Amino acid sequence: MSTEDHALQDESPQVPVQRTAEPELPAASADPALLEVEDLKVHFPIRRGVVVERTVGHVRAVDGVSLQVAQGGTYGLVGESGCGKTTFGRAVLRLEEPTGGRVRLGDDEVTSLKGERLRKFRSRMQMVFQDPLGSLNPRHNVDMLLSEPLKVHGVGSKEERRKLAVETLDAVGLPKTVLERFPHEFSGGQRQRLGIARALMLRPDLIVCDEPVSALDVSIQAQVMNLLDELQGEFGLTYLVIAHDLAVVRHLSDRVGVMYLGKLVEEADSESIYEHPRHPYTKALLSAVPQPDPEKEATRERIILKGDLPSPANPPSGCRFRTRCPWAQDICAEQEPEWREAASGHKVACHFDL
C-alpha cells in the first residue's frame, strides 16, 4: 500500500450528522412496474454430520430485498463479488428457489408457480449469463442453440424456427452463415451476441443480464452495451442488469440499486446515485472509479475500506456495513438502519445524513 493510501486510511473521517425527522416526501413518478420483488430471501442451509446430517446455520445470500423494475426500463444492481447479486437474479427467475418473499411479473406471481405452469411461464423471462462460452452447449451448432428454446415451448415448425433464428441473428449483428458453426469457433464478443440472441428467441418481457460484459475485452464491451440498448428499443425489453462495474451500470440503467451482504443499502435513479451518493458503501465504490479528466483524477477523494466482506452466514449486528464503515458509531452496532426515503425517489439504509 502506498504512503498516500496509508494516510487516507488513517485519516479520521468527518463526524456524520444523525438524521432528524423529515417531512414526508412526495412519491417519485414512475412508469408501471413490470417486475415487483417483495422481501425476497434466499438462505442456503449449512449442514454437518457424516451419518446424520443436521442444519447448523444458514448462508443468507439474499436477505430481504424489495425492488421494482419499470416496464421497458433497466434496473442496475451493483455491489462487490459475494454480495448476493447473482443469487438474487437467479431467484427472480426461479433458477434458485426463494426461501421467502414474493416475485411478480406483470399480473402473475412467479413464486407460486409450479410444474407445467412454471415451465410455460419461463418463456416470458430469460437470462444472459456471465460466461458466454460456458453457457452455450459445445455440441450444438448455432441453429440448434437458437431453436432449442422454441422446441421446448412448442413454437413453430422447423422452417419457422430457422426463419426466426435468422431474424434474431440479424438483430444482434451476426449473419445467417453462422448457423452451422459451433460456439468454439467464435470470439468472446460473438459468443455473447449468441447468448443475447438465444435469450431473445422467445421474445420475453424480462431479461436478466448477469455481468453481460465482464468477460469481454474493453474494446468489445461498448459494442455489446450499445447492442443491448438498441434491442431494448426494438423489442420493448425490460432489463435487470447485474454488474460490479459501475461504468457499465451507469451506461445501461435508468435506476440503480446498491447491494451489500444480501441487502439493498441505497437505491435511486442513475443520475442521482452517481452525483449524490448517500450511503458510505456507495461513496466508497464510486471513489474507486478512475476519472478520465487528469485534474479531477488528481483531486479525487479515495475512501479506503478496512477489512474483508463479512460472512453472510454470520453478518454483523445492526448495520451490516459498520465493520468497514469509516463513519460507524455506537448506534450502528445496536440498531439496523431503516430503509427510508432520503429524497424524492432516493432511498437509503443509514442512520446518518452524509
Angle made by CA atoms 33, 34, 37, in degrees to the nearest 5: 80
Dump pLDDT digits (tens) for 75-122.
Answer: 999 998 889 999 999 999 999 999 999 999 999 999 999 999 999 999
How many residues in the chain?
354
Dump pLDDT digits (tens) for 295-338.
Answer: 777 777 788 788 888 999 999 999 999 999 988 999 999 999 99
Provide the angle, in degrees to the nearest 10, between the axes of the packed helices 218-235 and 188-200: 20
pLDDT exceeds 70 at position 5? no
Identify whether 305 is part of a domain: yes
Identify whether 283 is part of a domain: yes
State which residues form the domain around 268: 254-354
Identify whether 317 is part of a domain: yes
pLDDT exceeds 70 at position 27? no
Task: Give the model's pLDDT for residue 18.
Answer: 58
Sorted by sequence, the CB contacts under 8 Å of residue 276 that are 6+ apart come out as 343, 346
Q: How confident is the model at residue 49 (pLDDT cuts 50, 70, 90)?
A: confident
Q: How many structural domains compose the chain?
A: 1
Identify whether 325 is part of a domain: yes
Identify whether 48 is part of a domain: no
Sorted by sequence, the CB contacts under 8 Å of residue 23 that are 6+ apart come out as none
Task: Indicate if the alpha-carbon torsion angle 268, 86, 88, 199 is positive or negative.
Answer: positive
Angle made by CA atoms 201, 202, 207, in degrees to the nearest 5: 90
Q: How confident is the model at residue 7 (pLDDT cuts 50, 70, 90)?
A: very low
The residues facing 43 across adjacent strands are 60
The residues facing 75 across adjacent strands are 240, 255
Identify whether 273 is part of a domain: yes
Dump pLDDT digits (tens) for 240-274.
Answer: 999 988 888 888 999 999 999 999 999 999 999 99
**One-letter identity of residue 175:** P
Identify whether 326 is part of a domain: yes
Residue found under cell 500500500: 1
pLDDT exceeds 80 at position 201? yes
Q: Where are the alpha helices (DSSP H) in the chain?
A: 3-10, 85-92, 115-121, 142-152, 158-171, 188-200, 218-235, 246-252, 270-275, 280-287, 294-299, 330-334
Q: How far apart are CA 108 and CA 112, in angstroms?
A: 9
Q: If we measure between CA atoms, which residue out of 304, 300, 302 comes closest to residue 324? A: 304
Identify whether 287 is part of a domain: yes
CA distance readout (Å), 352 to 22, 25, 39: 13, 18, 24
Q: How confident is the model at residue 16 (pLDDT cuts 50, 70, 90)?
A: low
Task: Give the model's pLDDT for residue 23.
Answer: 37
